[in-house]
Chain A
Amino acid sequence: MNCGEIRDIIIEYNGKLESAKLKPEVLSEVKSHLASCKKCALAKERMTEMTAKIAVDRVEVPANLAADIISRVIPSAEQARPKIKAFAQPEISFIDKLAELLGMSPKNFAFNMSAVFIGIIAVSLLLYNYGMKAGDQSGKIADNKNIEINENIIKDPVDKKFKKIEDADPKNVASKDEQIDKKFKKSIFTVESGAVANLTGEYKLDELYQVKQDEDLNINYKEVAQIIIKTNSKFKVNDEGIILESGMVSVDLKPKSLAGFKVVTPESVVEVVGTVFSVSSSDNKTEVSVKRGCVKITDSKTKETHTLNAGDSKTVSALDDSKIDTAPVVIQPDSNTPVVNVKTIASGAAASTSEVSHAAETGTAPAEIQGANIKQIMDSFKNENVNPGK
């Protein structure tokens, strides 16, 4: 062993080789080295002395140390505790209190409350959904019960618009919304300001259209009126509805379903008074024939009103030479279905009131209305049922 190794042993055992757990031969070798090496022997002596001095080092602990620390630590701890208690305890105690009142454990109470909460949300959603539908239905009911026809005109497009959006591809709703709106507007069919219906196909605003030869344009209005624009009838579409320029419109109303329903022609306004009425019109005059029920005719210029009962008919001319015919032309008094025939007779047209009315009742084609450019209109018309023309 060299001095370094001996010194390591001295340091490790703090110079107390006698109590060191060394093998006898190692201990013997160390002692032998110490006997011959003064430097290592001195190191051993100093190590022992130093260790002894360290061991006797005493620390004077203040007498009131524990009390002092307690007096400082515990109040600080108490200050820290209430902050937690103030925040946490009311919640726990409140829940515990509720749980106790309901006779359940806090865990069960929390579970049940969660279930109730989820239930409330589900019921709310159902009610909300039902409310939406109910609102929709009530709107329809309100429409049907509406006394003011003009309100129908306003509400009906909304219904149609809503339906169209529902049918549309959800992905394209936003992008097609404006387009649908335009199409919809152009598709509004109104027998003047009274009725609104949806036509298939697209129509340009203020362009003149004519129904194809030998075809009728059938329109269902709110399931309360069946409107038929007869063959060769000409009409325009605008934001207000459809203006009948010439030809014939037949309106079939369900009893008491559409009080105040009007058919407006350039010469007059024909309005339902009782349950049923029927009307026809031309460029210069309007013929109204009542099949069943009672209608009121208002002259557009003189504002003069006349009431027609079942079997009556009336002609209103642009020259204001209106008169009541005592002999009705169109009347079919035995019908249970109210039918209104509105006929617009073009200048020089051969069609008579009787012919038109007959056609409306029997379904046969009325006499042709001589329009100036009917063929051109028909050729350029895109719709299957309607030909455009101008």
Chain B
Amino acid sequence: MEINGVNDIEIIEKVKEGNSAEFEKIITKYSKMIYSITYRLLRDSEEARDLSQDVFLRAFRFINKYNPEFKLSTWLVRIAYNLYKDRFKTKKIHIVHQVLSGDDESNKNYEDQFIDTSPRPDEKIENKVKSEQIINIINRLPANYKMVITLYFWGDHSYEEIAEIMEIPVGTVKSRLKRAKGYLLENYSRMLEKWK
């Protein structure tokens, strides 16, 4: 929580007092982390850059609403998630809502739930293709599942932090993560079966 020996909260206090230049320190520290998340959510560098900018703009505008009880990184990611959801709604990204619409953990038949409609890749290096396919599978997840997967695998956030970011209970985070990973495993397995 320190930037060059200065606490985030101290910087924020200075920004609140009108010292806009202090906000540069926050951008410098957290821009890469925010970009990596926005990029993984969007898989488009320009959009990820724009979204990152929007994150910091909104953070600056609502800096007075920042609650110091939470980590600044958590607050910034939450802003990113909310902006992403807005964008997600606007662009109507088509994903498999029908199979991950609920949080019911009793439904364990993943093979019946997930249907991979993606085209089979041809003549590509196996590992690269596999990685791309995994990313594609992730991209087909609903926004709230994709966010959980993104924060879990790449965000280095705990269940509690993910819960704070997404403003959902920890139990919901766990159940969503389990379902999302089950979905990925099933689709990845299906993809590999096709390749044989």
Contact = CB atoms under 8 A, between A and B. Distances in A.
A76 B55 CA distance: 13
B134 interface: yes
A14 B149 CA distance: 12
B24 A70 contact: yes
A59 B49 CA distance: 12
Contacts of B184: 50
Interface in B80-106: none
B153 A73 contact: no
B23 A50 contact: no
Interface in B18-32: 18, 20-21, 23-24, 27-28, 31-32
Given A14-B181, A74-B23, A50 B134 contact: yes
A353 B131 CA distance: 139
B31 A46 contact: no
Contact of B35 (A8, A54, A61, A85): A61
A65 B181 contact: no
B144 interface: no
Contact of A62 (B45, B131, B181): B45
Contacts of B56: 69, 73
B78 interface: no
B74 interface: no
A43 B189 contact: yes
Contacts of B36: 59, 61
Nearest to B187: A50
Nearest to B28: A66
Contacts of A4: 108
Contacts of B24: 70, 74
A53 to B, nearest CB: 5
Dominant SS among interface residues on chain B: helix
Contacts of B153: 51, 54-55, 57
A21 interface: no
A180 interface: no
A66 B33 CA distance: 11
A50 B185 contact: yes
Which residue, of A66, A72, A73, A81, has the highest number of chain B Cβ atoms within 10 A? A73
**Size band of the A side of the interface?**
35 or more
Interface string A55-92: 11101111001101110111011101100010000000
B5 to A, nearest CB: 19
Interface in B167-193: 178, 181-182, 184-185, 188-189, 192
A11 interface: yes
A70 B60 contact: no
Contacts, number: 98
Contacts of B40: 57, 59
Given A11-B178, A50-B184, A65-B32, A70 B27 contact: yes
Contacts of A60: 45
B124 interface: no
A77 B60 contact: yes
Contact of A65 (B23, B49, B57): B49
Given A46-B189, A74-B21, A62 B49 contact: yes
A69 B60 contact: no
Contacts of A51: 153
A100 interface: no
Contacts of B138: 54
B134 A65 contact: no
Nearest to B37: A59
Contact of B134 (A12, A53, A68): A53
Given A50-B134, A59-B39, A69 B18 contact: no
A329 B56 CA distance: 114
Interface in A72-125: 72-74, 76-78, 80-81, 85
Contacts of B3: none
A43 B60 contact: no
Given A59-B40, A62-B49, A78 B35 contact: no
Nearest to B38: A59
Contacts of B73: none
Interface in A274-305: none
A325 B68 CA distance: 114
B178 A78 contact: no
A356 interface: no
B31 A65 contact: yes
A349 B53 CA distance: 116
Nearest to A12: B178
Interface in A294-337: none
A47 interface: yes
Given A53-B130, A59-B40, A65-B32, A11 B181 contact: yes
Contacts of B32: 61, 65-66
15 contacts: A8-B178, A11-B178, A53-B130, A56-B131, A62-B45, A65-B52, A68-B53, A69-B27, A70-B27, A73-B23, A73-B53, A77-B23, A77-B57, A77-B61, A80-B61
The 10 closest A-B pairs by CB, nearest first: A59-B36, A66-B31, A66-B28, A73-B56, A11-B181, A53-B131, A77-B20, A77-B60, A50-B188, A59-B39
Interface of A: 4, 7-8, 10-12, 14, 42-43, 46-47, 49-51, 53-57, 59-62, 65-66, 68-70, 72-74, 76-78, 80-81, 85
